[in-house]
């Protein structure tokens, strides 16, 4: 059963896109790869968010580095000032390396916990660094919904648009699992993407519907490339946006999916 | 925003299980803090620990989610008619049309900590989690939302919000948007956080934990007391002209200042409070009670007191109830919303426990003593790491 009455509320226009995957360090590279398999000749091993001072850039946890990098790229793509945008940060697990550090240190020498690592361990760390770095006093949130995290983040962004916000930033990312935690929680590499979503204006129009059932389409090139990362759940939408596809289906919970129709791919989607 | 009816609400804290225990302890000025007895090597501090969690395993059908945090979620869910109210709404709208939005700071990381402490090498020499804790769902933030989704059978949008100490205030805002937009007809909101090594030793590393009971807004305060709690509220679109308790407004903002220190002029706090009043369509003078964030850290309380003094008249009764419960982190939003709802329902306006000497930053709004008054509007402030702020306005429409 679809929730027909709410179909018009679950919509948004894509005004800007940011992207990072290992080997595909921006949206142009991801789009080219999705269209014809082209890979960049070289790619940096780690995102380098220009929002942070150089010393902070090196010290930033991977989750923060990738989130800030893609968020800034999406705002640049949309030509919208970052400080004007409320934001939704969606991550399945938060920073898995920091969780491993916290648990390992607590098991061995609890009073040795680093205060910086502790405040970076909050799920909204990337959201905090983003609002501080951009001087943004608008609302920001940080959510998780396991393998439905991206769909629920997209729904929340659309709800903000439906209740009066003209534009919103959605950022999704996950990191690699490590240490003992990695024996039960599996995620590889660094993956992030951001969308500037607007109520109206130019760009691909997303119209989503919540449906019963959890059947997904076969993964596209980006979905296969980064399949081992926990945020690969978002890639059906980015594969469709990259290749001019008309539909993407996302996991939206244990029993449900979010079917996203995409109308009017951007002119620059076909270079 | 359109008014949203509060069909049921509840909190379980160190004061006991359910609203009656909260109201009685607040009225009698009987605090719930005890000397820290949590964990193998307890730090010298005071904590708000919920009694009996250790003796309350989850029903066997839910054993996949077994951990301290989900146990407390389950205990809290059984109080004050929340489950019966949900059942009635499922009958009215269907489970697909009810959202589940819950907040937490650390979710069930206590289970991950325990798994590290008890990890042992197998025959292959590789260290692994003990079998009873090798359950991926309890080692991820959505442990709480996923558990509650299975425990309640709700099938609408299900989200765990984790913005540190504002988490379970922001759930009201997110659910209100879904109801306003027509995505759902009702929502279960709330929050749960439990004591664990991460927060006890983490806040200690930041130098924010007091060795005494916390003393919010006291000039000699030197840190917070940590606590644990769970609570819920059931929201439904209000019918025109309906009486009763309502969510009337929310305001969300960012400090854009520092990861673990508040903006020195309370910029984000002021923006959140103003936003909540504007969305409710009321003047600051109409608010009868404000439950403050009031953590008892030196930085938070003076900044928040000045922000309140800049916005509200002297007639406001404002207080922090963390002296009773401790700072329950991701559950603070729901626990202190329950205190605000109890103020509307019973007229009890709590003061501040254990504080004696007023911080010079306190305006006349900050009250140490309890009072009684019939009020129409009550607010709650919740501020978190990363400069993440949320204020809520609740109202009472008399018959």
Judge: A99–B112 Cβ closer than 8 Å, yes or no.
Answer: yes
For the domain made up of B4-397, the CATH class stated in words is alpha beta
pLDDT at B70: 98
Least confident of B125-129, B175-179, B345-349: B125-129
Residue ranges of A 245-264 with Cβ closer than 8 A to chain B: 252-256
Q: Residue with structure tokens 């989850």?
A: B58
Contact A237, A195 (CB under 8 A): no
Structure tokens at A17: 């896109």
State whether residue A51 sits within 8 Å of chain B by CB: no
pLDDT at A265: 63
**Least CB-CB distance to B145: which of A125, A145, A256?**
A145
Q: Residue B148 pLDDT > 60, yes or no?
A: yes
Picking from B383, B365, B342, the residue whose alpha carbon sits closest to that of residue B285 is B365
Separation in Å, CA B85 to CA A46, B9, B153, B168: 50, 10, 13, 20
Judge: B205–A256 Cβ closer than 8 Å, yes or no.
Answer: no
Provide the total of helices (H) and of strands (E) in chain B, helices listed first.
11, 18
Average pLDDT on A34-38 reads: 96
Q: A152 to chain B: which residues are within 8 Å by CB?
A: 157-159
Picking from B322, B102, B302, the residue whose alpha carbon sits closest to that of residue B228 is B322
Nearest-angstrom CA–CA distance, A228 and B103: 28
Q: Residue A266 pLDDT > 60, yes or no?
A: no
Nearest-angstrom CA–CA distance, B316 and B112: 44
Structure letter (DSSP) for residue B53: G
| Phi/psi at A243 (5° precision) | -105, 5
pTM of the model: 0.97
Q: A6 to chain B: which residues are within 8 Å by CB?
A: 181-184
Average pLDDT on B42-51 reads: 98
List the domains of chain A with CATH numbers. 10-203 (3.40.47.10)
Provide the total of helices (H) and of strands (E) in chain A, helices listed first.
9, 8
**Least CB-CB distance to B385: which of A104, A122, A145?**
A122
pLDDT digits (tens, 9 = 90+) for B268-318: 999 999 999 999 999 999 999 999 999 999 999 999 999 999 999 999 999
Q: B388 to chain A: which residues are within 8 Å by CB?
A: 124, 127-128, 140-141
Does the interface predicted TM-score (ipTM) exceed 0.95? Answer: yes
Nearest-angstrom CA–CA distance, A57 and A223: 28
Residue positions of B annotated with a catalytic role: 165, 293, 327
Q: A68 to chain B: which residues are within 8 Å by CB?
A: none
Average pLDDT on B36-63 reads: 97
- Confidence class of residue B399 from pLDDT cuts 50, 70 and 90? confident
Using CB atoms within 10 Å of the CB of residue B310, give its burial: 0 to 12 exposed, 13 to 18 middle, 19+ buried: middle
pLDDT at A2: 41
Q: What percent of chain A has pLDDT over 90?
A: 90
Structure tokens at B62: 């839910």
Q: Residue A269 pLDDT > 90, yes or no?
A: no
Separation in Å, CA A179 to CA A110, A139, A182, B118, B201: 17, 34, 5, 14, 21
Structure tokens at A188: 């590889």
Taking residue B24's Cβ as centre, other Cβ atoms within 10 Å add up to 13
Separation in Å, CA B201 to CA A118, A119, A268, B8, B50: 9, 12, 51, 35, 19
Helices B267-280 and B298-311, interaxial angle, to 10°? 40
Nearest-angstrom CA–CA distance, A199 and A193: 20
Q: Residue A1 pLDDT > 80, yes or no?
A: no
């Amino acid at each position: 059963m679809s929730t027909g009455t709410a179909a018009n509320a679950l919509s948004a226009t894509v005004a800007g896109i940011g992207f990072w995957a290992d080997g595909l360090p921006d949206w142009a590279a991801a789009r080219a790869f999705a269209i014809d398999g082209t890979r960049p000749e070289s790619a940096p091993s780690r995102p380098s968010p220009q929002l942070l001072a150089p010393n902070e850039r090196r010290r930033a946890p991977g989750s923060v580095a990738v989130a800030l990098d893609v968020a800034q790229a999406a705002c640049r793509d949309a030509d919208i000032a970052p400080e004007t945008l409320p934001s939704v940060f969606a991550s399945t697990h938060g920073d898995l390396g920091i969780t491993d550090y916290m648990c390992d240190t607590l098991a061995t020498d609890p009073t040795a916990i680093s205060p910086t690592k502790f405040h970076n361990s909050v799920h909204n760390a990337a959201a905090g660094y983003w609002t501080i770095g951009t001087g943004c006093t608008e609302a920001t949130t940080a959510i998780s919904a396991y393998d439905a995290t991206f769909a629920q983040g997209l729904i929340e962004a659309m709800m903000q648009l439906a209740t009066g916000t003209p534009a919103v930033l959605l950022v999704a990312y996950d990191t690699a699992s490590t240490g003992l935690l990695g024996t039960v929680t599996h995620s590889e590499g660094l993956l992030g993407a951001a969308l500037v979503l607007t109520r109206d204006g130019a760009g691909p129009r997303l119209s989503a519907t919540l449906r019963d059932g959890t059947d997904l389409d076969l993964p596209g090139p980006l979905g296969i490339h980064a399949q081992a990362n926990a945020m690969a759940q978002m890639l059906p939408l980015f594969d469709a946006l990259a290749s001019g596809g008309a539909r993407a289906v996302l996991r939206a919970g244990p029993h449900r999916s979010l079917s996203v129709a995409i109308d009017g791919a951007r002119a620059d989607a076909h270079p | 925003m359109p008014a949203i009816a509060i069909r049921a609400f509840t909190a379980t804290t160190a004061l006991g299980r359910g609203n009656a225990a909260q109201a009685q302890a607040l009225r009698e000025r009987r605090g719930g803090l005890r000397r820290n007895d949590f964990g193998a090597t307890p730090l010298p501090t005071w904590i708000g620990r919920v009694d009996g969690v250790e003796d309350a395993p989850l029903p066997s059908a839910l054993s996949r989610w077994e951990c301290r945090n989900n146990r407390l979620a389950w205990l809290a869910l059984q109080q004050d008619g929340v489950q019966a109210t949900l059942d009635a709404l499922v009958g009215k709208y269907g489970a697909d049309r009810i959202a589940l939005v819950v907040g937490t700071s650390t979710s069930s990381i206590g289970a991950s900590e325990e798994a590290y402490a008890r990890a042992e090498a197998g025959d292959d020499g590789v260290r692994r989690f003990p079998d009873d804790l090798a359950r991926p769902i309890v080692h991820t933030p959505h442990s709480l939302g996923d558990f509650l989704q299975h425990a309640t059978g709700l099938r609408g949008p299900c989200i765990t919000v984790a913005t540190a100490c504002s988490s379970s205030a922001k759930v009201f805002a997110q659910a209100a948007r879904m109801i306003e937009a027509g995505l759902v007809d009702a929502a279960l909101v709330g929050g749960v956080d439990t004591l664990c090594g991460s927060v006890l030793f983490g806040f200690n590393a930041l130098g924010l934990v007091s060795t005494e009971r916390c003393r919010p807004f006291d000039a000699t305060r030197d840190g917070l007391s940590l606590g644990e709690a769970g609570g819920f509220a059931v929201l439904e679109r209000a019918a025109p002209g309906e009486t009763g308790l309502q969510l009337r407004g929310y305001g969300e903002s960012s400090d854009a200042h520092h990861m673990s220190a508040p903006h020195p002029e309370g910029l984000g706090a002021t923006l959140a409070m103003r936003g909540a009043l504007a969305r409710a369509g009321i003047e600051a003078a109409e608010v009868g009670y404000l439950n403050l964030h009031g953590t008892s850290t030196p930085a938070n309380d003076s900044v928040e007191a000045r922000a309140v003094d800049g916005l509200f008249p002297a007639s406001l009764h404002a207080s922090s109830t963390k002296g009773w419960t401790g700072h329950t982190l991701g559950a603070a939003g729901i626990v202190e919303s329950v205190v605000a709802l109890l103020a509307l329902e019973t007229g009890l306006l709590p003061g501040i426990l254990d504080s004696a000497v007023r911080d010079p930053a306190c305006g006349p709004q900050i009250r140490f003593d309890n009072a009684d008054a019939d009020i129409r509007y009550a607010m709650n402030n919740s501020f978190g790491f990363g400069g993440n702020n949320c204020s809520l306005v609740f109202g009472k429409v008399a018959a």
